[in-house]
Amino acid sequence: MSKEKKQVPASGNANPPLFGKENYMWMLIGLAVLALGFFLMSGGKSSDPKVFNDSEVYSTTRITIAPILIIAGFVIEIFAIMKKSKTN
């Protein structure tokens, strides 16, 4: 049995990178949108546990805007992963 060594290209990089710079930029944007959505959804705690303030818990920001931002963040992440890199 002979052991053959694989030839490595002169550049030293056998495989091209999986994602390009633009893909990573879109991924960071998606993470920022997700973080903003989760931040807007948090809160609503009352200082007195016997008091329920429905205007804080059921605000438009918490039940409408934040979930839309979270879904948009996931859509941006999917786009960033699926986007074809210009370097390939």
Tens of pLDDT, residues 41-60: 998 777 888 888 888 888 89
Residue 7 phi/psi, 5° resolution? -80, 125
pTM of the model: 0.74
- H or E segment and range at residue 25: helix 21-41
What's phi and psi for 50, nearest 5 deg? Answer: -90, -5
- Please tell me whether residue 16 adopts helix, strand or coil conformation: coil
Residue 40 near residue 68, CB atoms below 8 Å: no
65 burial type by CB count under 10 A (0-12 exposed, 13-18 middle, 19+ buried)? middle
Whole-number pLDDT of residue 17: 81
